[in-house]
Homo-oligomer: A and B are copies of this chain.
Amino acid sequence: MGPAALQVPSPAADRQRVVISVDAMGGDRGPAVVVAGVAAVVAANPDVHILLHGDKSVLAPLLDKKPELSAFVTLRHAERVVTMEDKPSHVMRHGMGTSMWSCIDGVRSGEASAAVSCGNTGALMAVSMLRLRRLHGVARPAIACLWPSRNPGGFNVMLDVGADVKADPEDLLQYATMGASYARNGLGLARPRVGLLNVGTEEHKGRAELKVAHDLIASATGPGGFDFVGFVEGGDIPSDRVDVIVTDGFTGNVALKTGEGTAKLVGEFLKQAFNATFLSRIAALLALNSLKRLQARIDPRRVNGGVFLGLNGTVVKSHGSADATGVEAAIHLATRLARAGFIERLAARVASAQGAGQDTPGQGEGAGAQP
């Protein structure tokens, strides 16, 4: 967390070698899609080096088929795998020797700048908290996701989408600070606009703790480096009046899955509508390219990568059912955040906003040095 890390990356820094720790096991589609994703990343980005964790007897044959990867990938043998059914508490006690644990330890040891896994979300958060520890002053880490939106960049940030089912007003303040830092470093927004999710935009609406959080966040915009638009509603999540939506992990998880479920339902209805008549089937053929463009805009693979915020290290959770394109997107995201010195910037923001939250004006040093 030295001052050097706080500098804006120069073009030279963009080209510096970055090491990413990747868990090859534990995804629904097996290690072959992870290796394919890794191959796509290093083909586009020869400055990225991958520590690949998993069973040697499974991974070595896959790597042997792609000899061009040998200069970019270091295999780290881990015999065991965390399954989707394993309970987080069990993995915390008995997870040593799994590819997930080994992957996180790649960041813990300082060898890698970020970790990527398609495995069990709860277990990944538990292992990450245990091995990387929380950032100083962070009570509850959060998972941030990207949400298709009307903003020019095409995405908004929402957090927490499932790290913890509860959040106190102080946690929501930290989510605002961390989410804004993520939007700056991950989406390139100079001064993100933060909104607090509620059931109405009027200040008298909603739960009492949200009013407390509202005032805490409103007083931390300086050191946090964001603008606060106040309360937003569910319909505002994809809107262009906000960049970062802050909520507790219960509400965020329900909203995320409701949004995904609705998009899927409308997609099914659309398909049925185009299959209804001969004329509509012709129309679908004519509109094929347009429909593909639509699909690309709401393709969950493009937004693949929930980022764990509030730990001493960057961890990207790829979707369990991610294919090679999804894995590639998650590793690209991890690389971008590593190159931006995201963790150091995030730590400085959290420390600064906390000073403000305690009615001590933020020092502004770390803050001033950041975009």
Q: Which residues of A contact B (CB under 8 A)?
A: 87, 148-150, 162, 165-166, 197, 199, 204, 206-207, 233-239, 247, 249-251, 253-270, 272-274, 276-277, 279-280, 282-287, 289-291, 293-294, 297-298
Contacts and interface: CB of A to CB of B under 8 A. Distances in A.
Nearest to A206: B165
A233 B254 contact: yes
Given A197-B254, A284-B287, 18 more contacts: A165-B207, A166-B207, A233-B253, A233-B257, A255-B255, A255-B258, A258-B258, A259-B261, A259-B262, A266-B298, A269-B297, A270-B270, A273-B294, A276-B293, A279-B286, A280-B286, A280-B287, A283-B287
Contacts of A199: 162, 165, 249-250, 253-254
Contacts of A259: 234, 258-259, 261-262
Contacts of A204: 87
A286 B207 CA distance: 49
Given A287-B287, A291-B273, A234 B255 contact: yes
A59 to B, nearest CB: 30
B298 A273 contact: no
Contact of A286 (B166, B267, B286): B286
Give chain A's interface secondary structure class.
helix
Contacts of A276: 289-290, 293
B263 A237 contact: no
A340 to B, nearest CB: 28
Contacts of A258: 234-235, 237, 255, 258-259, 262
A256 to B, nearest CB: 7
A160 to B, nearest CB: 11
A261 B287 contact: no
A150 B261 CA distance: 11
A207 B253 CA distance: 13
A273 B250 contact: no
A277 B254 contact: no
B273 A290 contact: yes
A284 B234 CA distance: 30
B261 A234 contact: yes
A289 B283 CA distance: 11
- Most B CB atoms within 10 A — which of A204, A258, A259, A277? A258
Contacts of A270: 270, 294
Nearest to A285: B283
B280 A289 contact: yes
Nearest to A264: B235
A269 B284 CA distance: 16
